[in-house]
Amino acid sequence: MSPADGSVSAELNPAPRGRARGGHPHVVVLDYGFGNVRSAVRALERVGAQVELTADRGTALEADGLVVPGVGAFAACMAGLRAVRGHEVVGRRLAGGRPVLGICVGMQVMFERGVEHGTSADGLGEWAGVVDRLDAPVVPHMGWSQVEAPAGTRLFSGIEHERFYFVHSYAAQTFTQGHDDAADPRFTPPLVTWASHHTRFVAAVEDGPLTATQFHPEKSGDAGATLLANWLTTL
Domain extents for the chain?
A: 23-232
Indicate the length of the chain as a whole number: 235
* Residue 26 to residue 18: CA distance in whole angstroms: 8
pTM for this model (two decimals): 0.89
162 catalytic, yes or no?
no
* Residue 79 to residue 116: CA distance in whole angstroms: 15
Q: Picking from 2-16, 140-154, 181-195, 213-227, which range would have the lowest pLDDT averaged per residue?
A: 2-16
Catalytic one among 62, 112, 206, 218? Answer: 218
One-letter amino acid of 67: V
218 catalytic, yes or no?
yes
197 catalytic, yes or no?
no
Which residues have C-beta within 8 Å of that of residue 22, sequence separation ≥ 6?
Answer: none
CB 26 within 8 A of CB 64: yes
Catalytic one among 77, 104, 197, 206? Answer: 104
Of the pLDDT bands very low, low, confident and very high (cuts 50, 70, 90), residue 117 is: confident
Q: Which CATH architecture has domain 23-232?
A: 3-Layer(aba) Sandwich (3.40)
CB 78 within 8 A of CB 122: yes
Render pLDDT for 151-195 as a digit per residue (tens, 0 to 9). Answer: 999 999 999 999 999 999 999 999 997 555 555 666 789 999 999
Q: For the residues 29-44, what does the mean pLDDT come to?
A: 93
Render pLDDT for 124-137 as a digit per residue (tens, 0 to 9). Answer: 999 999 999 999 99
